[in-house]
Structure 1
Amino acid sequence: MTAQSIRLTSLLFVSILTAKADEGMWLFNKPPVRQVKEKYGFEMTPEWLSHLQHAAVRFNNGGSGSFVSDEGLILTNHHVGSGFLEKLSTAERDLLKDGFYADSLEAELPCPGLELYVLQGIRDVTQQVDAAVKGLSGEKAVAARRAVIAEIEKNATDQPDEKGDVVTLYRGGSYQLYLYKSYTDVRLVMAPDAQAGAFGGDPDNFEFPRYCLDYSFFRAYENGKPAKTPDFLKWNSNGPKEGELTFVAGHPGSTNRSVTLAELEDMRDRSMPDRLALMLRSEAILRAWADRDLENARRAKGSIVGTQNGRKAYMARLNGLLDPAFMQRKQASEDAFRKQLKADDQWAKADAAFDQIAKATAGEEALSPRIQMLEGGFGTGLYGMAKTLLRVADESEKPDGERLGEYQDASRVSLELGLLSDRPFYKNLETVRMADALMVLCDKLGATDPIVVKILAGKSPQERAAELVSQTQMDDVEVRRALYQGGKNAVDASNDPMIELARLVDPEGRELRAKAEEFSEATAEAHQEIAEARFAIEGDSNYPDATFSLRLSFGVAKGYTEDGVAIPYETTFSGMSARSVNQGGVAPFDFSPKWSASMAQLNPETPVDYVTTNDITGGNSGSPVVNEKAELIGLVFDSNSHGLVSDFAYTEERGRTVCVHPASIVESLEKIYHAKRVLDEILK
């Protein structure tokens, strides 16, 4: 049997050779049936899996959710929905601060730019992709792979509400076509106030015990009416008992468990420190601006919270990479595997692939400062709109298979939703962000770099940012629509300053992107060689890294020990009150007037949050937690700090998934927010 046939055959089976404990973000077409059966005595049936798959929802802003009624009602996190709460807010009506409840269908608020996806089916297209790039390398391989993927996605469906997405798994070892049903009419139903939804704020973020009511409700619509969603999760307010088997179905964004040591070293020494420095800088600048004015604070709140969240996550992950013991284990594992490869001549290419990855990583490192600066967006969504208009006009002139991926026909609905949705732009905030980005540009590339000189046009970063932002019309959706519909002629004729800036940067940006894609292609080819050898030697014992595609994890509700102290697996409202009192009742440990007026009615022993051993990462926010009956028993909203290293390796000793308990959602809906319509719908 050839290595290729071994690879493709092994993808059809599930092995338990190397997965440890409750580790794994498993594919729905390769679920851990045997693992769960042997460890917990529960057998996941095809019907059980299909029901859970069709109940799980992916948000286009990087979060997860689930249907919790047969009329399109969706449960997700408050922080997944917070960006849309911010967009729907005004100076007079702050939905983040005060929360929101629609007491009728007519009162539910449309969310511009929000798109949801529900996975309908998966098809293996590995042979088709591999055949298209066979014998090619470099730029030709990049073009051939892009073309065949575009063709597969374009021909995946002829339904306007469906979308095909080719997902790369095992670092190029497998390609799977995911077919999604999409919902572009999504409306806000209910969200708690931010003081409850983000109780504890940055100090408690990625910690436990926690007391967050991090939930919100949206609704999917079709043809102006609530969508019919028969595969929804029935509500179980009891939540899990300690030690009870739990499952999470969500969309983890990305992990790096299968990368090589050279790639981890690059993350440790370059990319993560660079990114962390930018986050710390952005946080400080946004905070200073927000402190100047209450309206500034409202406008910047979402950006500050998002930056804080990223900063804390990056610090924890970088700390994991700086652990010598972890890197030594990675080195030992890689050395042992390469020793196996060197023992058999048929795996010579796989062994050499590790060196190929190291070389490609070094090449990407050399490109990084320029591509980060010139393809990064200059800190403002207004420039992002201009760049999209410029490139979609140019790319639309090409055959579909030759376009950049985000401008291909299969992505057109999503592109238009983002480009043509009416959303607020706050020009004073955009100016602050762009001025900072231009200062970073000068720092990274040098103030005398030819492209930097052209971008600044003889002005300081602050002056140039103010000029560009004040004069652009990219905040006007009708201007964007006219340029988009007018195509290349209209965009070429535009003298909007943001489009002129995009036009100035575009040639070098494209060139840098093309070079980066060649390095990525070399890395993908090398990983494919490694994956083929690993599949042949070990079997398909290692689930693929996360790719923002639907995954299933299993675990149990379980506490842990911290510095010799036992941490119980769940918290209560009485603990929440004590946490507030012990912190002096000041932000972010205070309560809104609505909460303060009604807290006495809450059952103090109602569970608020709990932890499990489920394997998750970023993107799982909003994922449902279900039991053996596929009932909803919780809502994922975080990891504790020990769990953040899951990007590189799973740990069960102290790493935990943090979840909102369904009883606290019901209790707060009833006694704080008086959201009877939502309660009736989820409990019927």
Structure 2
Amino acid sequence: MIGTTMRIHWLFAALLVPGMALAAEGMWTLDNLPKAKMQAEYGFTPSEGWIKRTMLGSARIAGGCSASFVSKDGLVMTNHHCASECLDQMSTAKKNLIKDGFLAKGREQELICPEIELNRLEQITDVTTEVKNATAGLDGAAFKNAQNAVKAKLTSACVGNDKETVRCDVVDLYHGGLYQVYKYHRFQDTRLVWAPEKAAAFFGGDPDNFNFPRYDLDITLLRAYEGGKPAKIENYFPFSKSGAQEGEMVFVTGQPGSTQRQLTVSQLTTLRDLTLVNNLIRLAEMRGVLEQYSKNSPEAARNAEHALFGVENAYKAFRGRLSALQDPALMKQKQDEETALRQFVAKQPALQAKVGGAWDAIAAAQQAYRQIEAPYGLIEGGRGFSSKYSSYARALVRGAEERAKPSGERLPEYADAKLPELEQELFSTAPVYPEYEKVMLSLSLTKLREMLGTDDPFVKQVLGKQSPEQLSDALIDHTKLGDPAVRKALWQGGKEAILKSDDPFIKQELALDPAARAIRARYEKEVDSVQQKNSELIAQARFAEQGTSAYPDATFTLRLSYGEVKGWQEGDKKIPPFTTIGGAFERDTGADPFALPASWHAAKSKLNLAQRYNLATTNDIIGGNSGSPMINRNGEIVGLIFDGNIHSLGGAFWFDPRDNRSIAVHSGAILETLGKVYGGADLVKEIQAH
């Protein structure tokens, strides 16, 4: 790894050059691509037709990943770890699909994923004027309520009577500089087609995670259905067998989740000193509990496997972000950028009068947040009640209360346009494992008592005379919320059914919801609305200085990143951009997590060991881009994004072109292994058919 001193010297040098452009930097919205920059750097300007096909070929998994269409019959490509929840939900004690993998021999064998919703972006409409007019002159709760109401109105109008197939979201870009409605085609019938074994998909496990060289087949194929039949797709990405060459321009089209490159220094300080530290402590404790629980039995290990993977992945990512914010050079860069913008504003009296106090207002909101961070996260955020049963009870109780109101007066997550996704999760047939839930609920209740204090009135209301373990057992032993039919009946019965219910989780939620709503209201008044309103003002200052020549922070909406296939220098060592299938066998030790599955050893003689396997590129990505297709100028798939390298973990705050790399599965390796290792010849034909 490049030393901190070298990194600081390079960053300071960059700051001495005004307007210095960092090659390949940016997660660009498709309606504002840097075409001139792309032409100047790579001699390529995407046509409107190319952009449209790229938009319609891309997809997202509503739960937090990217995907793409790869055949006219609705075949969808994403990562194994993005579909692992479906694999887990479709597994049993006798058949572990995460461990053993899955291949549907025919379409009649494709398995319905209970909770995967796919979205395809089809239209972007600017609604900045409508949103800002609705909140003009308002503060605090009035600001938040007006914003919720106008967003509900806009999304309802967008969806119309097509809620089964249309989803609309109001998207906040540039932290309130722009507001747009993204209209999606919604696919809620998503089925599992193929997934390799976890030993192949996550070869190298946590030691190799966020590192390179890599040897992972992190892929799952799904299929979108409509009307009980495979969806007919006009725009999809064909596969390139040869893939991209070193130095070739490539594009990543996906849904980056969240970056913090445009936050104020006070917001970044809160992240560094409070949020990330607390998250890391919480994840470390949770990892220990999950590891211990997994030792109880093979079935316990299977039940905890998906959660443990998520915890380990998040821990490594957050640790990298904390390290980045602890780098004095990065914080100096952010302070210098903020100072320069404030000086620009101060030179224009009208702009200063309107915007000048925004940074101080956000800083004051950070202090307010520090006062309520623990109770807000534990009570309203649900960290004190970590159980599927508690989540179901919250959705049912609040849903009954909120759906009795006009859509514009509800909490945003219960607005009409949001209900189909909520109902899909609420009515899911995925199994719930009581013993696992007891462990997680007991842990979270223990942390609730520890962080708020034994004498806290809310803690006393929750626990009474019981210990966290006793309360967890009592609640879970007597609940019926594990049954989707019970949940559906309560949902459809509305407030009357909720008030009559004797389910212990429903009763608990009814008793605790007033306190949760109260801390939420305080957060929205003192923190959220203040940040939102003043971030809009800072965005106006940026627009006055830069226009929209800069890209907005990531918002889990479709973005395009461009770059090239390229390795990097690691001290005195040059890291090449490709690995090979043969390299995976050389790395195989026979012991987890470096043990290739038996299917690979059985097929070794048939495989082209020189086939490129994983590759590194300079594309700018972040969490949420998992599952993104990597395409070439012809719109052909040359790879499947599944990770970044260790240097990319600071990418939430800035982009370093020297060593920040995206990692993808090579298109040729997907075709090679799908056909020769997994017997998916029909699927190979399907994704190669143009």
* TM bucket normalised to smaller: over 0.9
* Aligned counterpart in structure 2 of residue 500 of structure 1, from 504, 507, 513: 507
Distance 2:467 2:521 in 1: 31
Contact 2:190 2:224 in 1 (8 A): yes
Distance 1:189 1:35 in 2: 40
Contact 1:457 1:464 in 2 (8 A): no
Contact 1:609 1:658 in 2 (8 A): yes
Report the Cα offset of residue 461 of structure 1: 0.9
Report the Cα offset of residue 330 of structure 1: 1.1
Contact 1:76 1:217 in 2 (8 A): yes
Asked if 1:548 is matched to 2:579, the reply is: no
Report the Cα offset of residue 351 of structure 1: 2.4
Could you give the per-residue CA deviations for residues 271-309 of structure 1, whole angstroms, max 9, x where no partner exists?
A: 000011000100010000101211111111111111000
Amino acid at match of 2:368: G
Taking structure 1 as the reference length, the TM-score comes to 0.96
- In structure 2, the partner of 1:99 is 101
- In structure 2, the partner of 1:13 is none
Asked if 1:261 is matched to 2:269, the reply is: no
- In structure 2, the partner of 1:302 is 306
**Which consecutive segments of 4 or more residues in structure 1 shift more than 4 A?**
16-19
- In structure 2, the partner of 1:350 is 355
Asked if 1:406 is matched to 2:413, the reply is: yes
Match runs of 1:208-219 below 5 Å = 208-219=212-223
Match runs of 1:119-518 below 5 Å = 119-158=121-160, 159-160=162-163, 161-348=165-352, 349-377=354-382, 378-518=385-525
Distance 1:657 1:237 in 2: 20
Report the Cα offset of residue 347 of structure 1: 2.3
Report the Cα offset of residue 210 of structure 1: 0.4
Q: Secondary structure at the match of 1:524?
A: helix
Taking structure 2 as the reference length, the TM-score comes to 0.95
- In structure 1, the partner of 2:83 is 81
Asked if 1:566 is matched to 2:574, the reply is: yes
CA RMSD across the alignment: 1.1
Q: Which runs of 5+ in 2 are unaligned?
A: 1-17
Amino acid at match of 1:307: V
Q: Secondary structure at the match of 2:51?
A: helix
- In structure 1, the partner of 2:565 is 557
Amino acid at match of 1:428: E
* Aligned counterpart in structure 2 of residue 666 of structure 1, from 649, 656, 671: 671
* Aligned counterpart in structure 2 of residue 538 of structure 1, from 546, 565, 588: 546
Report the Cα offset of residue 151 of structure 1: 0.3
Contact 2:71 2:236 in 1 (8 A): yes
Aligned pairs, number: 666
Distance 2:615 2:473 in 1: 47
Q: Secondary structure at the match of 2:158?
A: coil
- In structure 1, the partner of 2:536 is 528
Distance 1:204 1:537 in 2: 42
Distance 1:310 1:544 in 2: 24
- In structure 2, the partner of 1:629 is 634
* Aligned counterpart in structure 1 of residue 587 of structure 2, from 569, 579, 582: 579
Report the Cα offset of residue 28 of structure 1: 0.9
Amino acid at match of 1:399: P
Distance 1:260 1:667 in 2: 47
Report the Cα offset of residue 465 of structure 1: 1.1
Q: Secondary structure at the match of 2:356?
A: helix
Contact 1:19 1:542 in 2 (8 A): no
Q: Secondary structure at the match of 1:188?
A: strand
Q: Which runs of 5+ in 1 are unaligned?
A: 1-15
Contact 1:198 1:213 in 2 (8 A): yes
Amino acid at match of 2:561: S
Contact 2:22 2:656 in 1 (8 A): no
- In structure 2, the partner of 1:111 is 113
Distance 2:511 2:447 in 1: 18
Distance 1:405 1:454 in 2: 28
Amino acid at match of 2:279: R
- In structure 2, the partner of 1:27 is 29
Distance 2:23 2:522 in 1: 41
Could you give the per-residue CA deviations for residues 361-389 of structure 1, whole angstroms, max 9, x where no partner exists?
A: 11122111001111233111111001100
Contact 1:483 1:491 in 2 (8 A): yes
Percent identity of paired positions between Structure 1 and Structure 2: 40
- In structure 1, the partner of 2:11 is none
Asked if 1:57 is matched to 2:59, the reply is: yes
Distance 1:417 1:281 in 2: 31
Amino acid at match of 1:534: R
Report the Cα offset of residue 554 of structure 1: 0.3
Report the Cα offset of residue 18 of structure 1: 6.3
Contact 1:168 1:176 in 2 (8 A): yes
Could you give the per-residue CA deviations for residues 70-107 of structure 1, whole angstroms, max 9, x where no partner exists?
A: 00000110000011100000001110010000010100
Q: Secondary structure at the match of 1:172?
A: coil
Amino acid at match of 1:300: A
Q: Secondary structure at the match of 1:315?
A: helix
Asked if 1:644 is matched to 2:649, the reply is: yes
Contact 1:80 1:622 in 2 (8 A): yes
Report the Cα offset of residue 19 of structure 1: 4.8
Could you give the per-residue CA deviations for residues 247-292 of structure 1, whole angstroms, max 9, x where no partner exists?
A: 0110000100000000000000000000110001000100001012
Contact 1:389 1:491 in 2 (8 A): yes
